[in-house]
Amino acid sequence: MRRTDNTVSDMPDIACGPAPMVAGKLDWVGMNEIEMPVRIEDDKGGLIQSSALVTAYVNLTDPDVRGIHMSRLYLHLDQGFGARPLNPATLRQLLRSFLDSHEGLSDRALIRVDFDFVTRRPALASDNEGWRRYPVSMIGVLEDNEFSLEMGLEILYSSTCPCSAALARQLIQEQFDADFAGSEQVDVEKIREWLGSESGVRATPHAQRSAAEMRVRLTPTFQMFPIVELIDEIENALKTPVQATVKREDEKAFAELNGSNLMFCEDAGRRIQTALNTDERILDFWVRCTHYESLHPHNAVSVVTKGVEGGYVAGAGAPVRLELSRTK
């Protein structure tokens, strides 16, 4: 049976109690991996519901205060995402409520929402389409009434090694010389038949599933997040995104795309770099292309940033924004 003999005013509030034994300001305090459903607007004006993991932080500017009010952050998230879809305006309102509920304690707030965006994608050649899942992150920061907006996205694609393709062509040439040695003239139909045989195609280049992870800083004027637009932009730049529904005609088209878009990880990074550099909505970006090598037990990786002063740093791990990593 629930006890009701204590009122809230009777309960101890340790966070607002005596000063901590060791004083100090803290850059971020809060919670991460908060389980919460969110609704995301799609490119057709509808709403997609997804299960999300949310990070909610504020800084702690008073060195003599023991802690923040974490339950207030959770309740703001629960009420905000329950009433409104996830968009830039919702993030900004939630961040403002974080700071209003921590007046005198905090002057900077952060929300990160990680979820899977699921959408239908058309097949390459047939009239079919299928579901694709894209891991997405939305990050909003409010500091000194300045709102910054970031978006993370991962896109899978296929990469075929240019070096391996060149070696495969050489082996096919060598096999042709061996099979048709001594022939002064070769019938065209016989060559065509040879090219379509397993003995004619002596070697094939190695290819592998690859991933482009990116973080972009957006202009804070969006009404909704440009998820589908960014997916289209990157997949069009890479040319070889992985496919959902595949019939034989689709697989043939995919093989042709891979053959005409041979890529090292350096090539993939430069393709995305070019696409994002020409997008005026993107203020800064960090991109990591990982080719999960079928030849090696290790991966091939390239990292590129826009090179904005005070922006993303091309570190070995996750992207870092210099202005968000500073202490005040």
Distances (CA, A) of 229 to 197, 220, 237: 42, 16, 12
Nearest CA-CA partner of 263 in 205, 203, 204: 205
CA distance linking residue 239 with residue 257, whole number of Å: 7
Contacts of 235 (CB under 8 A, 6+ apart): 155, 157, 241
Contacts of 72 (CB under 8 A, 6+ apart): 98, 101, 102
Note the CATH architecture for domain 20-161+206-325: Roll (3.10)
Q: What is the pLDDT along the chain (328 residues), one digit of tens a residue?
A: 455 555 656 666 666 666 667 889 999 999 999 999 999 988 778 899 999 999 999 999 999 898 999 999 999 999 999 999 999 999 999 999 999 999 999 999 999 999 999 999 999 999 999 999 999 999 999 999 999 999 999 999 999 999 999 999 999 999 988 888 878 788 899 889 988 998 888 899 999 999 999 999 999 777 889 999 999 999 999 999 999 999 999 999 999 999 999 999 999 999 999 999 999 899 999 999 999 999 999 999 999 999 999 899 887 566 766 555 443 3
Nearest CA-CA partner of 190 in 171, 176, 202: 176
- Give tens-digit pLDDT for 13-32: 666 666 667 889 999 999 99
CA distance linking residue 203 with residue 94, whole number of Å: 57
Q: Delimit the domains of the chain by residue range.
A: 20-161+206-325, 164-195
- Give tens-digit pLDDT for 213-246: 999 999 977 788 999 999 999 999 999 999 999 9
Question: Phi, psi at residue 321, to the nearest 5°?
Answer: -95, 125
CA distance linking residue 98 with residue 92, whole number of Å: 10
CA distance linking residue 137 with residue 52, whole number of Å: 9
